[in-house]
Chains A and B, each alone.
Chain A
Amino acid sequence: QVLLQESGPGLVKPSETLSLTCTVSGGSIINYYWSWVRQSPGKGLEWIAYAYNSGTTSYSPSLKSRVTISLDTSENQCSLKLTSVTAADTGLYFCARTSSRSHFYFDNWGQGTLVTVSS
């Protein structure tokens, strides 16, 4: 059984950079697509970005200027960096897996990590 576990700082100050990690256990991250999806009361579920095999990435146009996603195949992890955070970036951040680029639904999710942006 493949398990996804997100981790992060919990609290981030405005204008700082948010860094999150998704650790995958029970299977390899190679040959799967790994996304970050966030959930906030105001905007529901919002896809942020995906990474694939350490070389391919895609970003939501609305966040592209502030986001970097990457994979560490040696550690079986997916990481997300979000710069210049504001209160609007507060929410629950999920890591999610997709098996096929042509059928890009999310078949496995982590439990999420809560991020609060506040001074």
Chain B
Amino acid sequence: EIVMTQSPATLSVSPGERATLSCRASQSVSSNLAWYQQKPGQAPRLLISGASTRATGIPARFSGSGSGTEFTLTIISLQSEDFAVYYCQQYNNWPPFTFGQGTKLEIK
């Protein structure tokens, strides 16, 4: 099973600034990585697939990069609605599909 590790667990950033979230895989997942955003009381929402392709309707301030074992989600010009928990998920080697434990992005 591929283990996904996200860092940091909590990230405090001021509105308008940039946030950089990391996700590491225990072995290569190529570019088969997705990012999700989850707000309290809501389901996860797909942001990024294929490590860098934004899902339909996702603002351009969200970008993903990386391949192999190291991935990054960058959010520029943070808006109030961006403060949430973010998860990465690999779909290269399965079963099972595995998720990281999440990074909570909070207002500084």
Contacts and interface: CB of A to CB of B under 8 A. Distances in A.
Interface of A: 35, 44-47, 58-62, 94, 96, 103-112
Interface in B92-108: 94-102
B32 A47 contact: no
B44 A109 contact: yes
Nearest to A4: B43
Interface residues of B, number: 24
Interface of B: 1, 32, 34, 36, 42-46, 49-50, 55, 87, 89, 91, 94-102
A104 B91 contact: yes
A89 to B, nearest CB: 16
Given A44-B100, A103-B32, A106-B36, 14 more contacts: A35-B97, A45-B87, A47-B97, A47-B98, A59-B95, A60-B96, A94-B44, A96-B43, A103-B91, A104-B32, A106-B46, A107-B49, A107-B55, A111-B42
B95 A61 contact: yes
Contact of A105 (B34, B95, B101, B102): B34
Given A109-B43, A109-B45, A44 B94 contact: no
Contacts of A106: 34, 36, 44, 46, 89
B43 A104 contact: no
Nearest to B55: A107
Contacts of B34: 105-106
8 contacts: A44-B99, A60-B95, A60-B96, A94-B43, A104-B94, A107-B46, A108-B46, A109-B43
